[in-house]
Amino acid sequence: MASRVSLVKRPTAHRKDPACGTCRKKCRKCDRKRPICDRCRTRGLHCEGYPPRFQFCEMATIPEPRDPDDASRTSVTLAHSSVSPSEVSVVPEVAGESVSPQVSLSNDPTFRDFPTVSLPSPPSPTHSATTSDFQQDLTSNQPLIEYFQQVLSEYLTISIEGTDNPFREHILPLVYQHQGILHALLGLSACHMHISGRNESQRFVTISLQYQGLALHSLGALLLQEEVSGLTPLEEECVLGMVLLLVLHDVCESGISSNGAHLTGVSFLCKRLACPTDFSTRSKASMFFISALSWLDMLRGFSGAEKLAYDGDVRKCVRDHGSLSLHTLVGCPPIIFYRIGQVLESGKSYLAGDLSVEQFQEFLIEAEKFFRGWDPDLAIYPTGHQEWRYLAEAYRHACLLRVLRFPDAFAISCDDPRIKTSVRAIFDACAAIPRDTAFYKRLLFPLFLAGADTSSPHQMHYASWCIGEIKHATGFQHPAMTDVLTKVWEERRANPDSQANVPWMEFTCSEFLSPQHAYLFF
């Protein structure tokens, strides 16, 4: 520990504040903004971030385990935690840089209507979590909680008159019952405030990393408890809620999810809650979490079917019982979600050698017939707004684009009439939805797929413009998505006469990539 502290305190400016990885590779000056430098952001490049030493300086320090025999299990990953089941809540602490009690969030214009509350001072390393600590944590961080409630939750769902906001309805009550959920929410809120430009202070990067690490620690403790003695229904909801917030934190930060492993790690719990022996035990909150996590899992499957981790029974449960949750979350009709999940599951079997190419192609033909014949006017939507239908149409054609890319993503040119028809249909749906509505923000994923499957310069421009509007409206910058689109378009421009497709999946999930990442665009 002493050597680590000495590294943090070295006075050499070059070692203390290096350029980001992308600027170093391109031999250009870096403005060193964190977590993503502005030069990369404005040029639409994927910022590779900063050396790992930054993590030691500003990430959360996890309290030492009480039992010396458990020291090897202490980690900020999902693996295991040394905290006992009764002490799953821990107190925030930052190594290398303290959070000054004089820093007040209420001075920021974002919080002009919020109560004047200062950020807490970090506790000492020997300080243990108590109920009073939890209450102090809640009180001193109320501006960040209110920011999530009033601002961020609006960007994460289709929040309109006639529908409930599931993040307010299901996440916020847990914040006041479990400190791990509180920390995950605070980390996401602080990250979004910085990424969106609402507050560019590096203090928010520190706060974001601090609470993210503490949430991971609490998650590890609960999963260890699950192995040893099981969880209560409330604790199960907390586990799923923490994973959802942590993955959304990754989406907010870059779109490349280091917490994708946790998404996979709780698939067993989603399966158990989706198929309970007693259906009366399944709450509305757990149904929302199952819907949200299985949706994120399906997005991973779009980039590579082998990444699909959730069972078909989970998606069937979402189709049959999570209709409202999925609709208000992303606007995708549950039957569309279920059928494309079947396609991806078959693709996974094909890639594993458990399904012959002939069998897979027969399945794809039937799936294409379904998506082409599905009528969005016959679906049942949460409200009478016409925008639900346009969103459904966009997702229908997004699924058709993915079906056509099986079994060989290189085989069909993006100039194929079937591809061009679906790309045009997505752009038409986008043009029909007013930009100032909550529905427009949920077009991000269909727009990305349409942009990745066109060679038309004006369609590329329109896709880029629409995605830029969504970035501006939500504050989520999606650098990973921008980077993938840029690579696909550059590759197409370099080979304008090629009849082979340039699959965007090759830039997110390929045998030539190391390591493999979970790309998630929410």
**Is residue 376 pLDDT above 90, yes or no?**
yes
In terms of domains, do 221 and 162 share one?
yes
Distances (CA, A) of 478 to 152, 250, 256: 16, 10, 9
CB 383: neighbour CB atoms within 10 A? 14
pLDDT band, residue 43 (cuts 50/70/90):
low
In terms of domains, do 173 and 303 share one?
no
In a domain, residue 267? The reply is no
Residue 518 parent element (H or E): strand 518-519
In terms of domains, do 21 and 95 share one?
no
Of the candidates 495, 488, 499, 428, the residue with the CA atom closest to the CA atom of residue 453: 488
Residue 249 parent element (H or E): helix 233-253
Q: What is the largest CA-CA distance in the chain?
A: 68
HSE, CB side, 13 Å, CA atoms: give it for residue 243.
29
In terms of domains, do 391 and 428 share one?
yes
**High-pLDDT (> 70) share of the chain, %:** 77
Placement of tokens 């949750």 in the chain = 325
Task: State the Cα–Cα distance between residues 425 and 402, nearest whole angstrom.
Answer: 14
In a domain, residue 262? The reply is no
Predicted confidence at residue 170, as pLDDT, reads: 95
In terms of domains, do 211 and 82 share one?
yes
Distances (CA, A) of 122 to 117, 145, 385: 15, 18, 48
pLDDT tens by residue, 6-17 = 333 333 333 345
Task: State the Cα–Cα distance between residues 458 and 387, nearest whole angstrom.
Answer: 25
Peptide bond into 479 cis (omega under 30): no
- Residue 26's domain spans which residues? 2-43
**Is residue 264 pLDDT above 70, yes or no?**
yes
In a domain, residue 439? The reply is yes
In terms of domains, do 30 and 75 share one?
no
In a domain, residue 344? The reply is yes
In a domain, residue 54? The reply is no
In terms of domains, do 400 and 368 share one?
yes
From the number of C-beta atoms within 10 Å of its C-beta (0-12, 13-18, 19+), residue 68 rates as exposed
Residues 179 and 134 sit within 8 Å (Cβ to Cβ): yes
Residue 21 parent element (H or E): helix 21-25
pLDDT tens by residue, 388-417 = 999 999 999 999 999 999 999 999 999 999
Task: State the Cα–Cα distance between residues 345 and 180, nearest whole angstrom.
Answer: 33
Task: State the Cα–Cα distance between residues 242 and 183, nearest whole angstrom.
Answer: 9
Helix axes 444-452, 457-474, angle to 10 degrees: 160
Which tokens go with 74? 């202490």
Helices (H) then strands (E): counts for the chain: 26, 2
Task: State the Cα–Cα distance between residues 347 and 342, nearest whole angstrom.
Answer: 9
Average pLDDT across the chain, whole number:
81
Placement of tokens 């970090």 in the chain = 122
Task: State the Cα–Cα distance between residues 403 and 501, nearest whole angstrom.
Answer: 14
In a domain, residue 473? The reply is yes
In terms of domains, do 235 and 297 share one?
no
pLDDT band, residue 218 (cuts 50/70/90):
very high
Predicted confidence at residue 26, as pLDDT, reads: 62
pLDDT band, residue 464 (cuts 50/70/90):
very high
In terms of domains, do 182 and 306 share one?
no
Helices (H), 275-356: 284-303, 312-321, 323-330, 334-351
Task: State the Cα–Cα distance between residues 464 and 448, nearest whole angstrom.
Answer: 9
pLDDT band, residue 47 (cuts 50/70/90):
confident
Higher pLDDT, 469 or 203: 469
Predicted confidence at residue 126, as pLDDT, reads: 35
Task: State the Cα–Cα distance between residues 411 and 361, nearest whole angstrom.
Answer: 14
Which tokens go with 224? 């260890």
CB 521: neighbour CB atoms within 10 A? 20
In terms of domains, do 121 and 222 share one?
yes
In terms of domains, do 15 and 75 share one?
no
Residue 15 parent element (H or E): helix 13-16
Task: State the Cα–Cα distance between residues 483 and 493, nearest whole angstrom.
Answer: 15
Phi, psi of 94 (to 5 degrees): -125, 130
In terms of domains, do 19 and 66 share one?
no
In a domain, residue 328? The reply is yes
Which tokens go with 131? 């109920």
Render 144-168 in DSSP notation, one character per residue: HHHHIIIIIHHHSS---TTS--HII
Higher pLDDT, 23 or 101: 23
Which tokens go with 198? 């609402």
Residues 452 and 484 sit within 8 Å (Cβ to Cβ): yes
Predicted confidence at residue 75, as pLDDT, reads: 32
Number of folded domains that form the chain:
3
Task: State the Cα–Cα distance between residues 221 and 473, nearest whole angstrom.
Answer: 37
Task: State the Cα–Cα distance between residues 208 and 194, nearest whole angstrom.
Answer: 9
Higher pLDDT, 31 or 196: 196
In a domain, residue 51? The reply is no
Contacts of 312 (CB under 8 A, 6+ apart): 341, 342, 345
